[in-house]
Amino acid sequence: MKNLKTYIIQYIKTTNDSNGNPRRMYMITNLESGIIGFINEGYDGCPLFGKIKVAWTAALNLQPREYKRLKSRAPMLTLEEFNTEYA
């Protein structure tokens, strides 16, 4: 059996920006190494994370300042980058 990596995928959101654009992302955390990066939700909604084992948690609704601070802690990834690099 293939050794599966386990990730925690945390849904993070805040109010829309001044232009009305949504600010929603998924924070991907590896249990061994911490925060890997973020995937922007954009307008498409929930992405598919490929064939990885995912532990989902409740959504966090942050103030805009905290959202921006958290977002600066790790790179933004595309879903393709995540599935290629980590899945």
**Predicted confidence (pLDDT) per residue in 3-47, tens digit:** 556 788 888 999 999 999 889 998 988 888 889 999 888 776 666
What pLDDT, on a 0 to 100 scale, did the predictor assign at position 51?
A: 59
Three-state DSSP class for 44? coil
What pLDDT, on a 0 to 100 scale, did the predictor assign at position 16?
A: 93
Prediction pTM value: 0.77
Residue 1, pLDDT above cutoff 90: no
- Domain residue ranges in the chain: 6-85
What pLDDT, on a 0 to 100 scale, did the predictor assign at position 46?
A: 66
What pLDDT, on a 0 to 100 scale, did the predictor assign at position 44?
A: 67
Count H helices, E strands: the chain? 2, 6
What pLDDT, on a 0 to 100 scale, did the predictor assign at position 9?
A: 85
Contact 38, 26 (CB under 8 A): yes
Contact 28, 7 (CB under 8 A): yes
What pLDDT, on a 0 to 100 scale, did the predictor assign at position 2?
A: 44
Contact 82, 28 (CB under 8 A): yes
What pLDDT, on a 0 to 100 scale, did the predictor assign at position 68?
A: 93
- Angle subtended at Cα 17 by Cα 14 and Cα 20, rounded to the nearest 5 degrees: 110
The burial of 33, by beta-carbon neighbours within 10 Å (0-12 exposed, 13-18 middle, 19 or more buried), is given as exposed
Strand 34-40 and strand 76-77: the pairing is: parallel
